[in-house]
A and B are shown apart, each in its own frame.
Chain A
Amino acid sequence: MIGPSANPTLRVAGRPQELRPRLGFFAVVLVVLLVMLLGRLWILQVVRGAEFADLAEKNHLKEREIPAPRGGIYDADGERIAEVRASFDVVVAPDEVEEGRALELGEMAWAKAGPPDSDAWELPSRIDVGTLCVRLAELLEHADPEELLERFEQGRRADRWRSVVLAADVSEAELERVLARRAWLPGVSVVARHRRHYPNGSLFSHLVGYLREVRADELPRLRERYRDSSHGPGWYQSGDMMGKYGLEAAYEEWLRGDDGSYWVQVDVHGRELGRSAAADRPGDEYFRSIDHFLNRGLTPERSGHDLHLTVRRDLQQLAVDLLGNESGSVVMMEVDSGRVLAVANAPGFDPTIFNSRISPEEWKRLSQDPDHPLVDKALQGVYPPASTWKMIVGAAVLASGEWSDRKLVNCAGSVKVGRRRFHCWNRKGHGKVNLSGALKHSCDVYFYRAGLHVGIDTVARFASMFGMGRPTGIGFNSEASGLNPDSAWKKVRFKSRPRLGVWKKGDTASAVIGQGYTLATPLQVASMTAAFANGGTLYRPLVVDRVVGSNGQVVWRQDPEVTGQVDLAPSHFESIRKGMLAVVDERGGTARGQRLKHLAYAGKTGTAQVVSLGSVRNAKKRNSKRFKDHAWFTAFAPYEQPEVVVTVLVEHGEHGSTAAAPIARKMLEHYFAEPLAKARSEGRRIGDSRPKSRSLATGAGAAVQ
């Protein structure tokens, strides 16, 4: 029935050969199309192959950073001052999520119930940020979806190519929850960071300083600076933290480590499938045959170096405690090395707050506080050195050889210089005083006379020998120079009005009692005091003792460095020191109240006028704290074989003897606590080899009132 024979029901019209021309044409079309497709493939695979291979590789091979921990900072006893701890931030990449805010109840329930039942690898690779925020809010503690969304929008507006931190420093439980649900949070990742931590809060604020995020406009400069260094031009990346103040800034290159990196292979959801390993270890790459991946390897991170300071935490703490609510500064350093044992300022600030974005209110509070918590008063604060300057004048007049330390000057309460009368602080006068008595009583008239006798330029020359008028070279926080005025300086200062630029005797009178133009920082005064104590050697103040690598090896040690030598006879130093001892030790000394029975120490008080009181007419104003005098006290101890110097400045503390000297005394008591206890039990006095009867008794004043 079925066969090649014609079926009568089917009409056959025309021969099949009729179709051949068109079939042939069809075949030609096929061949033409084949050629076209092959041509297109040639362009894609051969001509542009390398380009696409690179792009495809960028899809699944991602470089991951191994953040290097910043070096720690330790005090002289190895106590932690600054350290790093691991913290985890939950971030979302703006270009990996859809915009929109699908904050619907359904989504809430979804997020709570967990993922729908499906093959995990077929989940959508992109969702909208609203949904993401709802899901995250479920996983994080104290998080509100609206708040998260707001944070995201803010971050995206700032920089749409950078991941936005939605939750910083999340807890371990939160971290676990987020990581477990990672597949349902496309675009979200957890970033491990090292967060700077200052266990002592504001204790070392100005010394240690703080870190801030590196600014975008700084990056090109940094890239240029480290282009040829071992760190490479990419040492700083956007979002990195950088030391901006204090030792964190000054020792930035030591403290900062080098981040390492490795490569991971990820799928479209960002799930890691393998990672590259260091050259000597096998990686666990999924696609072993892709050689680019194998060859990328791993660059280990190099942690930053640790700083070991000369500063002692206990002394620093005591200094801050003693300053209390006052605004001021305490510097304590070793006499024979310049090693700083404490350098404290009050008020301080908690450096941690600079780690994250600081709120405008907080910034306003810090920057507009009348007590200037952001200023390192010990290094940057310039004050009239007041009577602490008198030691320099004494040195200058002794060096002249024309006055001996026995020379008596009669203080009648005032002296007329030019047409103006300059008063002693004691208007009744001190009577006849020698150098020691003048220091003990801080007699102004003696020093007016002495200063006028040698002239300002000699005084200034000695002040300069004692390090005044230039930074001590401590090496951080853009230390102030202070001001050590002389006639040449004044000429330059009033260049445009030469008549005003003439140095007058009145200027000398002001300058020699550390007022007028004269300015110094507490650190300079401490350094100068140390030079008096050690016989004229000026050391660079040191705060960093050594830099230690992560392997414990000392890579750099800072040795004491002499920056100057005062040209003065030892006997003259002895005379000044004797006067300074009298200040504390003898009846009538300005700091007599702070005498220690078992420790002989020497010092000098100072009371710096903030404004000339005459210019403040308003009595009420005159009594207000802002116009009260600054109180100075600078001392070295023990009197014989001095070890340490301590300098205290209390802003608006009024009298050096009452506001500053007790702080210094307590610092010394703490520093010498053990020897003091021993001396007490032995009935001995440290630093005093004079016959017992004289030393333990109240010393007789050299001056007669």
Chain B
Amino acid sequence: MMARALETASIGGRQRLVDWPLLVVTVSLCVVGLLTLYSAAGSPLLEGAPRAFTRQVVYMGLGLGLMVAAAAVPPRLYERCAYGALGVTLLLLLVVLLVGPVRGGAQRWLPLGAFSLQPSELAKLSLVLAAARYFAAQSRPQGWNLRDLLFPTAMLLLPTALLVFKGPDLGTTLFLCSVYGVMVFVVGLRWRSLLMLVLVAGLAAPLAYVHVLGDYQRDRVDALLSPDADPKGHGYQAIQGRYAIGSGRLLGKGFGNNTQGRLRFLPEQHTDFIFSVFAEERGYVGCVALLLLYFTYMLCGLWIAWHARDRFGALLCAGIVAVFFCHVCINLGGVLGLLPITGVTLPFMSYGGSSVLTMLVGSGMLWSVSVRGTA
């Protein structure tokens, strides 16, 4: 099937095989991510390459392969399989809840030999696919109001979010809601409805703070509001992260000199807080370059969506950009002290197989739409 798809693409003559800007940006991000991880996961007490780095190389290799494969699949096939993918994801989420091992008080992983799969990561792409398919088929030229959204929300978002929430994984639940929200916005949610949603969310936030959030989540919100109240406890992560970023100054300390991370003053230095390590080593100049790379990637995605030949392609791209966007914004927001710290990874940088694979497969989908689904 892949061979025929490639063949079809070449027959057109006008169509390209490779979306070079997207590929260059993606691979650049992967390389930067690997280099940063090598330095962040290392330690003066450690000989050779850190284990996290070698594993990440494997994940990235696998991910790049999957990206090419995903690029070879025509968008039409994604559209056909969208609901099926969501179904399988829901099933996996259920299986995790039933038989998944408990790690750190949460059931999020399905062990697969040496690796383990995190179905909630898959859920991000599946939800995007399913939502794209649904909204591609429904057009409301006057815009969507809340009542119109009731059905797709109940059918697509609600079951996914509920199963993930049961994890318990409030972070990913909110993440899924955000991605879904961005898609609904792109589809054409009326401004009035949007305003109402924002109002309801604004009113619900304090209630959620008191009733829904667990103690540790409340602590994180508190730590954001006043990190210096508990500098050795809940505020520690945020404060040390700030020291790391700030100490990079304009030009950075140079590769391998992230004292905050390598000497372990900054916890989570190679996962959620890897940006701090990058900022410490590369300084403001490096951060500007990295953020430009990230936003180039997202703008590439939106460019593909803009030129998509059909609604599904456009919505799929918008959805994937939304996933990427939420990752970047929530992670950097937390690291830079603008949002509470959540366990959201930074795409292509943070250590973690599921995240890398998800983002690279997503890139593959963008690529697919770019070479096959644009006019």
Contact = CB atoms under 8 A, between A and B. Distances in A.
A19 B299 contact: no
Contact of A16 (B141, B253, B299, B309): B309
Interface residues of B, number: 74
A23 B139 CA distance: 16
Contacts of B310: 12, 16
A56 B260 contact: yes
Contact of B242 (A2, A33, A44, A95): A44
B234 interface: no
Interface stretch (A46-54, A357-365, A369-377): A46-54
Nearest to A29: B325
Contacts of B245: 41, 44-45, 52
Contact of A126 (B232, B329, B372): B232
A15 B76 contact: no
A354 B314 CA distance: 84
A7 interface: yes
Contact of B44 (A27, A46, A59, A273): A273
Contacts of B187: 19, 22
Contacts of B1: 2
Interface of A: prevailing SS: helix
Contacts of A16: 308-311, 313-314
A22 B186 contact: yes
B327 to A, nearest CB: 13
A32 to B, nearest CB: 11
B90 to A, nearest CB: 22
Contact of B264 (A2, A46, A51, A121): A121
Contact of B284 (A7, A42, A289): A42
Given A14-B141, A30-B298, A56-B246, A121 B45 contact: yes
Contacts of A13: 136-139, 311
A365 B5 CA distance: 100
Given A13-B138, A19-B186, A49-B247, A40 B311 contact: no
A671 interface: no
A3 B264 contact: no
A10 interface: yes
A26 interface: yes
A55 interface: yes
Contacts of A53: 246-247, 249
Contacts of A42: 284
Interface stretch (B111-119, B196-204, B287-295, B345-353): B287-295
A53 B302 CA distance: 38
B214 interface: no
A3 B372 CA distance: 9
A125 interface: yes
Interface residues of A, number: 60
Contacts of B288: 38, 41
B338 interface: yes
A52 B336 CA distance: 13
A56 B46 CA distance: 22
Contact of B244 (A7, A56, A290): A56
A60 interface: yes
A556 interface: no
B246 A267 contact: no
A51 B305 CA distance: 44
A20 interface: yes
Given A2-B4, A26-B186, A267 B136 contact: no
A189 to B, nearest CB: 17
A9 B245 CA distance: 53
B332 interface: yes
A286 interface: yes
B152 to A, nearest CB: 13
Given A19-B188, A19-B318, A44-B242, A26 B302 contact: yes
B265 interface: yes
A102 B296 CA distance: 53
B31 interface: no
Interface in A48-87: 48-53, 55-57, 59-60
Nearest to A7: B76
B249 A50 contact: yes
B45 to A, nearest CB: 5
Q: Pick the most buried of A30, A42, A45, A286: most chain B CB atoms within 10 A of its CB.
A: A45
Contacts of A33: 329
A120 interface: yes
B279 interface: yes
Interface in B170-187: 182, 185-187
Q: Pick the most buried of B260, B263, B318: most chain A CB atoms within 10 A of its CB.
A: B263
A299 to B, nearest CB: 23
B284 A12 contact: no
Nearest to B287: A41
Contacts, number: 192
B136 A289 contact: no
A46 B284 contact: yes
Contacts of B153: none
B112 to A, nearest CB: 24
Nearest to B283: A45
Nearest to A286: B44
Contact of B46 (A2, A60, A121, A265): A121
A489 interface: no
Nearest to A27: B302
A16 B288 CA distance: 33
Nearest to B240: A59
Given A26-B182, A30-B325, A44-B242, A19 B46 contact: no
Nearest to A61: B259
B141 A18 contact: yes
Given A34-B291, A120-B45, A286-B44, A41 B336 contact: yes
Contacts of A26: 182, 185-186, 302, 318, 321
Interface string A274-290: 00000000000011011
Given A23-B314, A53-B249, A14 B243 contact: no
Contact of A290 (B246, B253, B284): B253
B98 interface: no
B249 A7 contact: no
B298 A48 contact: no
B299 A45 contact: no
Contacts of B8: 2-4
Contacts of A56: 243-244, 246-247, 259-260, 265, 280
Contacts of A613: none
Contacts of B76: 2-3, 7, 10
Given A23-B186, A59-B243, A287-B257, A18 B318 contact: no
A557 B311 CA distance: 101
B125 interface: no
B306 A2 contact: no
Nearest to A274: B44
A179 interface: no
A347 B288 CA distance: 79
B186 A55 contact: no
A18 B247 contact: no
A20 B304 CA distance: 11
A242 B360 CA distance: 68
B77 A2 contact: yes
A45 B372 CA distance: 43
A15 B284 contact: no
28 contacts: A4-B372, A12-B137, A13-B311, A14-B311, A23-B186, A27-B302, A30-B325, A31-B295, A33-B329, A38-B287, A38-B288, A41-B288, A41-B291, A45-B283, A45-B287, A46-B250, A46-B284, A53-B247, A55-B243, A55-B246, A56-B280, A95-B232, A265-B263, A266-B263, A267-B43, A286-B44, A289-B254, A290-B253
Interface of A: 2-4, 7, 9-16, 18-20, 22-24, 26-27, 30-31, 33-34, 37-38, 40-42, 44-46, 48-53, 55-57, 59-60, 95, 120-122, 125-126, 265-269, 271, 273, 286-287, 289-290
By Cβ-Cβ distance, the 8 closest A-B pairs, closest first, are A52-B246, A14-B139, A49-B249, A56-B247, A13-B139, A53-B247, A267-B263, A56-B243
